[in-house]
Amino acid sequence: MDQQAKADILSAGIAAPSADNSQPWRFAWHGDELDLHIDAGRSGRVSDSRYVLSDLAVGACLESMVIRARALGYAADVQTFPGPEDERWAARIRWRPDPEGDRPGEPLATAIEQRHTDRRFPWRGPIPADVRDRLSAQAQRITGGRLVWPISSAERKAALGLIRRAETLRFKSPLLHAELFSSVRFSSGWHGACEEGLAPSTLAVEAPLRPFFQMMRHPGVMATFRWLGAAPMLGWRSAWLPIRLSPGLCLLVIPSAERADVLAGGRALQRVWLQATLDGLAVQPYASAGVLSLGFVPIEPAFRSQLSALSSALGTLCRSGQGLVFLRLGYARSALRDRSGRRASGSFGVFP
Protein backbone atom coordinates (compact mmCIF):
# COMPACT_ATOMS: atom_id res chain seq x y z
CA MET A 1 0.00 0.00 0.00
CA ASP A 2 1.51 3.34 -0.96
CA GLN A 3 1.94 6.26 1.46
CA GLN A 4 -0.70 8.38 -0.29
CA ALA A 5 -3.33 5.64 0.08
CA LYS A 6 -2.49 5.32 3.79
CA ALA A 7 -2.80 9.07 4.29
CA ASP A 8 -6.12 9.17 2.38
CA ILE A 9 -7.53 6.35 4.48
CA LEU A 10 -6.55 8.05 7.73
CA SER A 11 -8.02 11.39 6.73
CA ALA A 12 -11.30 9.61 5.96
CA GLY A 13 -11.21 8.13 9.49
CA ILE A 14 -10.50 11.50 11.09
CA ALA A 15 -13.48 13.07 9.25
CA ALA A 16 -15.82 10.70 11.14
CA PRO A 17 -18.15 11.99 13.87
CA SER A 18 -17.50 11.57 17.59
CA ALA A 19 -19.51 12.55 20.66
CA ASP A 20 -18.71 16.15 21.65
CA ASN A 21 -16.15 16.14 18.82
CA SER A 22 -13.72 14.34 21.14
CA GLN A 23 -11.97 12.49 18.25
CA PRO A 24 -10.89 9.68 20.60
CA TRP A 25 -8.81 7.82 17.99
CA ARG A 26 -5.17 6.80 17.90
CA PHE A 27 -3.60 5.06 14.92
CA ALA A 28 -0.46 2.96 14.54
CA TRP A 29 0.78 1.44 11.29
CA HIS A 30 2.66 -1.84 11.19
CA GLY A 31 3.48 -2.23 7.51
CA ASP A 32 0.11 -2.56 5.77
CA GLU A 33 -1.68 -3.27 9.03
CA LEU A 34 -3.31 -0.49 11.00
CA ASP A 35 -4.12 -0.59 14.71
CA LEU A 36 -6.97 1.59 15.90
CA HIS A 37 -6.91 2.51 19.59
CA ILE A 38 -9.12 4.57 21.87
CA ASP A 39 -7.17 7.60 23.06
CA ALA A 40 -6.81 7.31 26.88
CA GLY A 41 -6.75 11.09 27.30
CA ARG A 42 -9.91 11.67 25.29
CA SER A 43 -12.17 8.89 26.52
CA GLY A 44 -13.66 7.35 29.65
CA ARG A 45 -15.50 10.41 30.96
CA VAL A 46 -18.82 9.96 32.79
CA SER A 47 -21.00 9.46 29.70
CA ASP A 48 -18.27 7.35 28.13
CA SER A 49 -18.35 4.75 30.90
CA ARG A 50 -17.41 1.38 29.47
CA TYR A 51 -16.31 3.35 26.36
CA VAL A 52 -19.79 3.34 24.79
CA LEU A 53 -19.36 6.72 23.07
CA SER A 54 -15.75 5.98 22.14
CA ASP A 55 -16.71 2.60 20.66
CA LEU A 56 -19.36 4.34 18.55
CA ALA A 57 -16.81 6.90 17.35
CA VAL A 58 -14.29 4.14 16.64
CA GLY A 59 -16.92 2.24 14.62
CA ALA A 60 -17.72 5.37 12.60
CA CYS A 61 -14.00 6.02 12.00
CA LEU A 62 -13.39 2.41 11.00
CA GLU A 63 -16.28 2.37 8.54
CA SER A 64 -15.13 5.64 7.01
CA MET A 65 -11.68 4.16 6.42
CA VAL A 66 -13.08 0.91 5.00
CA ILE A 67 -15.29 2.84 2.57
CA ARG A 68 -12.44 5.14 1.43
CA ALA A 69 -10.09 2.17 1.05
CA ARG A 70 -12.62 0.34 -1.08
CA ALA A 71 -12.87 3.37 -3.36
CA LEU A 72 -9.07 3.29 -3.64
CA GLY A 73 -9.08 -0.41 -4.54
CA TYR A 74 -8.31 -2.00 -1.15
CA ALA A 75 -10.28 -4.46 0.93
CA ALA A 76 -10.04 -4.67 4.72
CA ASP A 77 -9.81 -7.67 7.03
CA VAL A 78 -10.99 -6.33 10.36
CA GLN A 79 -10.49 -7.88 13.76
CA THR A 80 -12.22 -5.98 16.55
CA PHE A 81 -10.86 -5.98 20.11
CA PRO A 82 -7.90 -8.17 19.13
CA GLY A 83 -6.15 -8.05 22.51
CA PRO A 84 -8.44 -8.70 25.47
CA GLU A 85 -5.69 -7.50 27.80
CA ASP A 86 -5.93 -3.98 26.33
CA GLU A 87 -9.48 -2.57 26.54
CA ARG A 88 -8.56 0.44 24.41
CA TRP A 89 -7.22 -1.60 21.50
CA ALA A 90 -10.35 -1.42 19.34
CA ALA A 91 -9.34 -2.95 16.00
CA ARG A 92 -6.57 -4.29 13.81
CA ILE A 93 -7.13 -3.81 10.10
CA ARG A 94 -5.19 -5.59 7.40
CA TRP A 95 -5.46 -3.89 4.04
CA ARG A 96 -5.03 -5.85 0.80
CA PRO A 97 -5.64 -5.11 -2.85
CA ASP A 98 -9.32 -5.68 -3.62
CA PRO A 99 -9.73 -8.09 -6.54
CA GLU A 100 -13.00 -6.30 -7.39
CA GLY A 101 -11.31 -2.89 -7.47
CA ASP A 102 -13.31 0.33 -6.99
CA ARG A 103 -16.76 -1.12 -6.40
CA PRO A 104 -19.58 0.87 -7.89
CA GLY A 105 -21.59 -0.28 -4.85
CA GLU A 106 -19.67 2.13 -2.56
CA PRO A 107 -20.72 5.65 -3.60
CA LEU A 108 -20.69 6.58 0.09
CA ALA A 109 -16.99 7.51 -0.23
CA THR A 110 -17.88 10.79 -1.91
CA ALA A 111 -19.86 11.90 1.17
CA ILE A 112 -17.13 11.35 3.79
CA GLU A 113 -15.86 14.93 3.82
CA GLN A 114 -19.32 16.49 3.31
CA ARG A 115 -21.00 14.68 6.22
CA HIS A 116 -21.56 16.90 9.25
CA THR A 117 -23.88 17.59 12.18
CA ASP A 118 -26.57 20.23 11.68
CA ARG A 119 -28.35 21.44 14.83
CA ARG A 120 -30.58 24.04 13.18
CA PHE A 121 -34.36 23.80 12.79
CA PRO A 122 -37.02 23.83 11.40
CA TRP A 123 -36.39 21.46 8.53
CA ARG A 124 -38.58 20.64 5.59
CA GLY A 125 -40.07 17.30 4.68
CA PRO A 126 -41.51 14.83 4.17
CA ILE A 127 -38.81 12.21 3.84
CA PRO A 128 -39.95 9.88 1.04
CA ALA A 129 -40.30 6.16 1.75
CA ASP A 130 -37.55 5.27 -0.74
CA VAL A 131 -35.08 7.53 1.12
CA ARG A 132 -36.05 5.88 4.43
CA ASP A 133 -35.56 2.47 2.80
CA ARG A 134 -32.07 3.44 1.58
CA LEU A 135 -31.05 4.57 5.08
CA SER A 136 -32.43 1.37 6.63
CA ALA A 137 -30.58 -0.72 4.04
CA GLN A 138 -27.29 0.98 4.99
CA ALA A 139 -27.81 0.17 8.68
CA GLN A 140 -28.49 -3.45 7.75
CA ARG A 141 -25.25 -3.70 5.76
CA ILE A 142 -23.58 -4.08 9.17
CA THR A 143 -24.57 -7.34 10.85
CA GLY A 144 -27.12 -6.73 13.60
CA GLY A 145 -27.73 -3.07 12.71
CA ARG A 146 -31.22 -1.77 11.97
CA LEU A 147 -33.26 1.42 12.05
CA VAL A 148 -36.59 1.86 13.79
CA TRP A 149 -38.79 4.67 12.44
CA PRO A 150 -41.32 6.04 14.95
CA ILE A 151 -43.93 7.03 12.35
CA SER A 152 -47.35 6.79 14.03
CA SER A 153 -48.27 9.71 16.25
CA ALA A 154 -48.19 7.45 19.35
CA GLU A 155 -44.66 6.27 18.49
CA ARG A 156 -43.43 9.78 17.74
CA LYS A 157 -44.92 11.03 21.00
CA ALA A 158 -43.22 8.23 22.94
CA ALA A 159 -39.87 8.91 21.25
CA LEU A 160 -40.12 12.66 21.79
CA GLY A 161 -40.96 12.23 25.48
CA LEU A 162 -38.11 9.80 25.95
CA ILE A 163 -35.49 12.00 24.27
CA ARG A 164 -36.72 15.07 26.10
CA ARG A 165 -36.44 13.32 29.48
CA ALA A 166 -32.90 12.14 28.68
CA GLU A 167 -31.80 15.60 27.52
CA THR A 168 -33.40 17.18 30.59
CA LEU A 169 -31.30 14.87 32.77
CA ARG A 170 -28.17 16.31 31.17
CA PHE A 171 -29.13 19.66 32.70
CA LYS A 172 -30.54 18.30 35.98
CA SER A 173 -27.50 16.20 36.87
CA PRO A 174 -24.55 18.41 37.93
CA LEU A 175 -22.23 15.60 36.81
CA LEU A 176 -23.62 15.38 33.27
CA HIS A 177 -23.99 19.12 32.99
CA ALA A 178 -20.34 19.75 33.95
CA GLU A 179 -19.23 17.17 31.38
CA LEU A 180 -21.35 18.67 28.61
CA PHE A 181 -20.20 22.22 29.19
CA SER A 182 -16.54 21.25 29.51
CA SER A 183 -16.71 20.24 25.82
CA VAL A 184 -17.90 23.67 24.67
CA ARG A 185 -14.99 25.87 23.58
CA PHE A 186 -16.36 29.28 24.56
CA SER A 187 -12.97 30.81 23.73
CA SER A 188 -13.70 30.39 19.99
CA GLY A 189 -16.58 32.88 20.25
CA TRP A 190 -19.97 32.65 18.54
CA HIS A 191 -18.57 32.78 15.02
CA GLY A 192 -15.25 30.97 15.22
CA ALA A 193 -14.23 27.36 14.71
CA CYS A 194 -12.13 25.06 16.88
CA GLU A 195 -10.21 21.92 16.08
CA GLU A 196 -11.50 19.83 19.00
CA GLY A 197 -14.62 19.98 21.17
CA LEU A 198 -17.74 21.96 20.34
CA ALA A 199 -17.48 25.48 18.95
CA PRO A 200 -20.47 27.59 20.15
CA SER A 201 -21.08 28.53 16.50
CA THR A 202 -22.07 24.91 15.75
CA LEU A 203 -24.69 24.72 18.52
CA ALA A 204 -27.48 26.74 16.87
CA VAL A 205 -28.18 28.83 19.98
CA GLU A 206 -30.37 31.84 19.12
CA ALA A 207 -28.62 35.22 19.62
CA PRO A 208 -30.87 36.44 22.51
CA LEU A 209 -30.25 33.19 24.44
CA ARG A 210 -26.46 33.22 24.08
CA PRO A 211 -25.66 35.21 27.27
CA PHE A 212 -27.79 32.74 29.31
CA PHE A 213 -26.17 29.76 27.62
CA GLN A 214 -22.73 31.16 28.39
CA MET A 215 -23.70 31.70 32.05
CA MET A 216 -24.78 28.06 32.32
CA ARG A 217 -21.17 26.90 32.32
CA HIS A 218 -20.83 28.21 35.90
CA PRO A 219 -22.06 25.53 38.35
CA GLY A 220 -23.51 28.12 40.77
CA VAL A 221 -25.53 29.83 38.05
CA MET A 222 -26.73 26.49 36.73
CA ALA A 223 -27.80 25.48 40.25
CA THR A 224 -29.95 28.63 40.40
CA PHE A 225 -31.41 27.93 36.95
CA ARG A 226 -32.24 24.41 38.13
CA TRP A 227 -33.90 25.75 41.27
CA LEU A 228 -36.01 27.99 39.04
CA GLY A 229 -37.11 24.90 37.09
CA ALA A 230 -35.07 25.60 33.94
CA ALA A 231 -33.91 22.01 33.26
CA PRO A 232 -37.17 20.79 31.64
CA MET A 233 -37.27 23.98 29.52
CA LEU A 234 -33.72 23.29 28.35
CA GLY A 235 -34.66 19.70 27.48
CA TRP A 236 -37.66 21.06 25.57
CA ARG A 237 -35.54 23.57 23.62
CA SER A 238 -32.57 21.31 22.91
CA ALA A 239 -34.52 18.19 21.93
CA TRP A 240 -38.32 18.30 21.87
CA LEU A 241 -38.74 21.44 19.78
CA PRO A 242 -36.13 20.70 17.07
CA ILE A 243 -37.42 17.14 16.69
CA ARG A 244 -41.07 18.25 16.66
CA LEU A 245 -40.19 20.71 13.87
CA SER A 246 -38.35 18.13 11.77
CA PRO A 247 -39.96 15.61 9.45
CA GLY A 248 -37.77 12.61 10.23
CA LEU A 249 -36.66 10.67 13.28
CA CYS A 250 -35.12 7.23 13.42
CA LEU A 251 -33.43 5.11 16.05
CA LEU A 252 -30.35 2.99 15.46
CA VAL A 253 -30.79 -0.40 17.14
CA ILE A 254 -28.07 -2.98 17.83
CA PRO A 255 -28.45 -6.55 19.15
CA SER A 256 -26.88 -5.96 22.58
CA ALA A 257 -24.72 -3.64 24.65
CA GLU A 258 -21.64 -5.86 24.11
CA ARG A 259 -18.70 -3.70 23.04
CA ALA A 260 -18.38 -5.45 19.67
CA ASP A 261 -22.05 -4.67 18.97
CA VAL A 262 -21.63 -1.02 20.01
CA LEU A 263 -18.62 -0.68 17.70
CA ALA A 264 -20.63 -2.28 14.88
CA GLY A 265 -23.38 0.23 15.74
CA GLY A 266 -20.88 3.03 15.06
CA ARG A 267 -20.16 1.49 11.66
CA ALA A 268 -23.88 1.36 10.88
CA LEU A 269 -24.33 4.93 12.14
CA GLN A 270 -21.66 6.17 9.75
CA ARG A 271 -23.18 4.33 6.76
CA VAL A 272 -26.64 5.76 7.50
CA TRP A 273 -25.23 9.29 7.97
CA LEU A 274 -23.23 9.13 4.73
CA GLN A 275 -26.27 7.91 2.83
CA ALA A 276 -28.36 10.70 4.37
CA THR A 277 -25.69 13.17 3.19
CA LEU A 278 -25.87 11.77 -0.35
CA ASP A 279 -29.66 12.13 -0.20
CA GLY A 280 -29.33 15.82 0.78
CA LEU A 281 -30.58 15.34 4.34
CA ALA A 282 -29.44 17.30 7.39
CA VAL A 283 -28.71 15.13 10.44
CA GLN A 284 -28.47 15.67 14.20
CA PRO A 285 -27.85 12.68 16.48
CA TYR A 286 -29.30 12.43 19.99
CA ALA A 287 -27.35 9.87 21.98
CA SER A 288 -28.36 10.55 25.59
CA ALA A 289 -31.49 8.39 25.74
CA GLY A 290 -29.70 5.30 24.43
CA VAL A 291 -26.48 5.79 26.34
CA LEU A 292 -28.14 6.58 29.69
CA SER A 293 -30.58 3.70 29.34
CA LEU A 294 -27.66 1.22 29.23
CA GLY A 295 -27.18 1.90 32.95
CA PHE A 296 -23.37 2.22 32.79
CA VAL A 297 -23.21 5.96 33.52
CA PRO A 298 -22.48 6.52 37.24
CA ILE A 299 -25.01 9.31 37.60
CA GLU A 300 -25.99 10.76 41.01
CA PRO A 301 -28.21 8.33 43.02
CA ALA A 302 -31.14 10.78 42.93
CA PHE A 303 -31.50 10.23 39.18
CA ARG A 304 -30.92 6.47 38.95
CA SER A 305 -34.60 5.52 38.92
CA GLN A 306 -35.02 7.75 35.86
CA LEU A 307 -32.43 5.69 33.99
CA SER A 308 -34.46 2.50 34.37
CA ALA A 309 -37.61 4.35 33.25
CA LEU A 310 -35.71 5.50 30.14
CA SER A 311 -34.53 1.97 29.52
CA SER A 312 -38.00 0.44 29.62
CA ALA A 313 -39.49 3.20 27.40
CA LEU A 314 -36.71 2.66 24.86
CA GLY A 315 -37.25 -1.12 25.01
CA THR A 316 -40.93 -0.64 24.17
CA LEU A 317 -40.00 1.55 21.19
CA CYS A 318 -37.48 -0.83 19.62
CA ARG A 319 -39.17 -4.08 20.78
CA SER A 320 -35.96 -6.13 20.67
CA GLY A 321 -32.27 -5.26 20.88
CA GLN A 322 -30.75 -2.09 22.26
CA GLY A 323 -31.78 1.34 20.95
CA LEU A 324 -28.64 3.45 20.88
CA VAL A 325 -28.73 6.69 18.90
CA PHE A 326 -31.68 8.72 17.59
CA LEU A 327 -31.17 10.68 14.37
CA ARG A 328 -33.21 13.79 13.62
CA LEU A 329 -33.50 14.23 9.86
CA GLY A 330 -34.87 16.74 7.41
CA TYR A 331 -34.15 19.03 4.50
CA ALA A 332 -32.37 22.23 5.62
CA ARG A 333 -33.27 25.50 3.90
CA SER A 334 -29.64 26.52 3.35
CA ALA A 335 -26.12 25.13 3.50
CA LEU A 336 -24.53 25.08 6.96
CA ARG A 337 -21.85 27.72 7.52
CA ASP A 338 -20.21 26.61 10.76
CA ARG A 339 -18.84 23.10 11.09
CA SER A 340 -16.73 21.33 13.70
CA GLY A 341 -13.01 21.20 13.00
CA ARG A 342 -10.50 18.40 13.44
CA ARG A 343 -7.09 18.25 15.11
CA ALA A 344 -3.93 18.24 13.01
CA SER A 345 -3.33 14.76 11.64
CA GLY A 346 0.00 14.41 13.45
CA SER A 347 -1.78 14.37 16.82
CA PHE A 348 -3.45 11.02 16.12
CA GLY A 349 -0.37 8.84 16.52
CA VAL A 350 2.02 7.21 14.15
CA PHE A 351 1.48 8.23 10.54
CA PRO A 352 3.00 6.73 7.42
Ligand X SMILES: Cc1cc2nc3c(=O)[nH]c(=O)nc-3n(C[C@H](O)[C@H](O)[C@H](O)COP(=O)(O)O)c2cc1C
For ligand X, the binding residues (CB under 6 A) are: 17-21, 53, 56-57, 60, 116-117, 119, 198, 284-288, 339-340
User: Could you tell me which of 1, 280, 248, 284 has the C-alpha nearest to residue 120?
Assistant: 284
Count each helix (H run) and each strand (E run) in the chain, helices first: 12, 8
Q: How many residues in total does the chain contain?
A: 352
Q: How far is the CB of 97 from ligand X (least distance, A)?
A: 30
Which is closer to ligand X, CB of 114 or CB of 308?
114
Q: How far is the CB of 227 from ligand X (least distance, A)?
A: 25
Per DSSP, helices labelled H in the chain are: 3-14, 52-72, 129-140, 153-172, 174-182, 210-215, 219-227, 230-235, 241-244, 259-278, 288-293, 304-318
Which is closer to ligand X, CB of 201 or CB of 311?
201
User: Could you tell me which of 233, 267, 259 has the C-alpha nearest to residue 142?
Assistant: 267
Which is closer to ligand X, CB of 119 or CB of 271?
119
Asked whether 241 and 119 are in contact (CB, 8 A), the reply is no
Which is closer to ligand X, CB of 295 or CB of 352?
295
Q: How far is the CB of 26 from ligand X (least distance, A)?
A: 17
In whole angstroms, give the CA distance from residue 19 to residue 286. Answer: 10
In whole angstroms, give the CA distance from residue 213 to residue 211. Answer: 5
Q: How far is the CB of 105 from ligand X (least distance, A)?
A: 24
Q: How far is the CB of 172 from ligand X (least distance, A)?
A: 16
Q: How far is the CB of 20 from ligand X (least distance, A)?
A: 6
Which is closer to ligand X, CB of 26 or CB of 95?
26
Q: What DSSP character marks residue 236?
A: I
Residue of this chain nearest to ligand X (CB atom)? 17
Which is closer to ligand X, CB of 285 or CB of 321?
285
